[in-house]
């Protein structure tokens, strides 16, 4: 890939990753009859959360895709995808804090402490923060080998995120189970690869 085509692709991907935000904004402000439905706050929280999970899984799919297709250039898009995961998860949390709870921190604290599905969701968000902060080239250089170790946290974050989704479903768990299966495949692939590498060496 030449530097300029990489640049164009990167900008294109950036714009594509913004599409969920654009659509949600249009629904929020009722552009051309679009709407969030009868319970807009709940809908916003849910949709931002879903996109956070989507981007987490897409980020986790980069390594398997790269190895299976042999297109090593894919790795160069991973940081942006991971940062979009953090962005949508953060929006999910901010809409909950601002619109749903109206910055009522005593109620928010009570939720985080007493509602297990919120406890694990909040934990996942907290764990994402150091990954986002250390995503710059300078931080990668500074941390060296420890950077890779730190960023393995994303596996745990994925598990917590899907678990958080599963646990707040009233009854129909199908969608959450689909996410769990995709996550299990992505993590399972890595375990399998590791096993293969060690057994061949």
Binding-site string for another protein from residue 150 to residue 169, where x marks contact by CB under 8 A and - marks none: -----------------xx-
The DSSP secondary structure of 166-191, one letter per residue, reads HHT-SS--HHHHHHHHHHHHHHHHHH
Number of C-beta neighbours around residue 54 at 10 A: 17
What's the rounded Cα separation, in Å, for the pair 86 and 52?
7
Angle at CA of residue 128, ends 25 and 164, nearest 5°: 75
Number of residues that bind another protein (CB under 8 A): 23
Q: Is 116 in the site for another protein (CB under 8 A)?
A: yes
What's the rounded Cα separation, in Å, for the pair 141 and 37?
47
| Binder of another protein out of 9, 13, 23, 40 (CB under 8 A) | 40
- By C-beta, is 67 or 100 nearer to another protein? 100
Angle at CA of residue 72, ends 66 and 77, nearest 5°: 80
Q: Is 110 in the site for another protein (CB under 8 A)?
A: yes
Q: Is 174 in the site for another protein (CB under 8 A)?
A: yes
| Binder of another protein out of 172, 191, 197, 199 (CB under 8 A) | 172
Q: Is 171 in the site for another protein (CB under 8 A)?
A: yes
Q: Is 3 in the site for another protein (CB under 8 A)?
A: no
| Binder of another protein out of 76, 117, 147, 190 (CB under 8 A) | 117
Number of C-beta neighbours around residue 158 at 10 A: 24
Contact residues: another protein, CB under 8 A: 28, 36, 38-41, 44, 99-102, 107, 110-111, 114-117, 167-168, 171-172, 174
């Amino acid at each position: 890939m030449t530097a300029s085509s990489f640049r164009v692709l990167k900008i294109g991907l950036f714009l594509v990753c913004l599409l969920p935000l654009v659509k949600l904004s249009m629904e929020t402000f009722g552009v051309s009859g679009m709407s969030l439905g009868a319970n807009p706050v709940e809908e916003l929280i849910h949709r931002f959360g879903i996109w956070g999970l989507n981007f987490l899984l897409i980020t986790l799919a980069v390594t398997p895709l790269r190895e299976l297709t042999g297109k090593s250039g894919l790795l160069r898009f991973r940081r942006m995808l991971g940062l979009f995961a953090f962005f949508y998860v953060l929006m999910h949390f901010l809409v909950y804090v601002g619109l749903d709870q109206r910055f009522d921190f005593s109620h928010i604290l009570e939720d985080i402490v007493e509602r297990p599905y919120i406890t694990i969701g909040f934990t996942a968000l907290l764990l994402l923060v150091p990954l986002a902060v250390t995503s710059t080239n300078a931080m990668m250089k500074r941390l060296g080998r420890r950077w890779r170790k730190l960023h393995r946290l994303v596996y745990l974050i994925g598990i917590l995120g899907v678990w958080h989704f599963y646990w707040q479903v009233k009854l129909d768990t199908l969608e959450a189970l689909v996410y769990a299966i995709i996550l299990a495949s992505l993590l399972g692939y890595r375990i399998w690869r590791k096993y293969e590498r060690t057994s061949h060496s």
